[in-house]
Amino acid sequence: MIKIHKKYIERTFYLAKKGLGGVRQNPLVGCVIVKEDKIIGEGYHKKYGEKHAEINAIDSVKDKEDIKGSSIYINLEPCSHYGKTPPCVNELIRHEPKEVIISNRDPNIKVNGNGINALEANGIKVIEEIKRREGEDLNKRFFTNQNKKRPYVILKWAQTEDGYMAREDGSSQWISNAMSRKLVHKWRSEEIGICVGIDTAILDNPKLNVRKWYGEDPIRVIINPKNKSLNNKKVLHDNLSTFVMTEEKDSTSSKKKFFKLNRFSFKSILEKLFDEGVSTLIVEGGSKTINYILKDNLWDEARIFIGKVNFKKGTKAPDLKIRNKHKNINGDKLHIILNDEGNSNK
């Protein structure tokens, strides 16, 4: 029986991943309805503020009477409170499945165990922790938000084979290849915020938007403690949302917001961003900003491209343990490092 449960929970993971970039600060959730070892309905949470996975799965069942006595698989405990949508657990109870099988409890204090208790109080069996670790990894952003009360932080940079991320003049185009750069735009579409330091914003004058992939543009976050001038820079002269974190002034102009921080640290930046609804953040540089974050150990994941070029001199790449395991991106090496006990900075 456990083998069958794992099979259908894996299907919920597959469905849930389709919501990446669309559900924003909500968790990734998939739902599968099974009757007599046959899938009769399935769905996933597609977009923030819209129907949740359980409702989409129920809607997909042709004859709703078939749901009675079924097994419903969900990778995350069904919600039991009113938010953008009504509680999913009420709708599940109404259709009388015999059991609900989940991977993880929802860590949100508004839900945590309440959805399970409601199901059991109505005679519906609940089975928990099927592929629990995989479920936690799937929703690593959401679990970080709920448990640490800050955004999930992804560091991203490209470095040369000899360990540099910029030449002596500060230029870095192009260390990684076109395929790697396209992948970076996909990543941007999956996160809510994108961050660079002021020097990168001034020297590189980047757009920091999504161009080589389809998806929403992230909110640009510029770390600018001394309020250096951003006049004539792209991040202040378009219609995209931009947050500038500074010690000097606090103001709002159109979609550009300047936040004055009394305690200027990356921790306080993350706290402010979290308050503003930025639950995930990809940091694209430069070296000073990334080293600053590594020093404070306020990161969750690093994605490092190693291109087939050598600079011999220049700005050294951050000193992070890079193991041999990597993905080949059309000749570039992509290392993905998680900040666990075995992968902290040196």
Which has the closest alpha carbon to 29: 103, 94, 89? 103
Sign of torsion over alpha carbons 234, 240, 243, 249: positive
Distance of CA 126 to the CA centre of its chain: 28
Query: What does the block give as tokens for 35?
Result: 């009757």
Nearest by Cα to 74 from 89, 94, 86:
89
Are 317 and 224 in contact, with CB atoms under 8 Å apart?
A: no
What is the Cα–Cα distance from 79 to 193, expressed in whole angstroms? 26
Q: Which of 9, 32, 31, 28 is nearest to 17 (CA)?
A: 28
Rounded (10°) CA dihedral 185, 189, 192, 197? 10
Residue 54 a catalytic site member: yes
- Residue 342: asked if its preceding bond is cis (omega within 30°), the reply is no
173 CB burial (10 A radius; 0-12, 13-18, 19+): exposed
18 contacts: CB under 8 Å, gap ≥ 6: 30, 44, 46
Residue written as token pair 């970039």: 21
Which of 54, 77, 284, 301 is flagged as catalytic? 54
Strands (DSSP E) contained in the chain are 30-35, 38-44, 71-76, 99-104, 125-127, 152-159, 164-166, 193-197, 219-223, 242-246, 251-253, 256-260, 280-283, 301-306, 315-316, 327-329, 332-338
Cβ burial, residue 269 (10 Å; 0-12/13-18/19+) = buried
Catalytic residues: 54
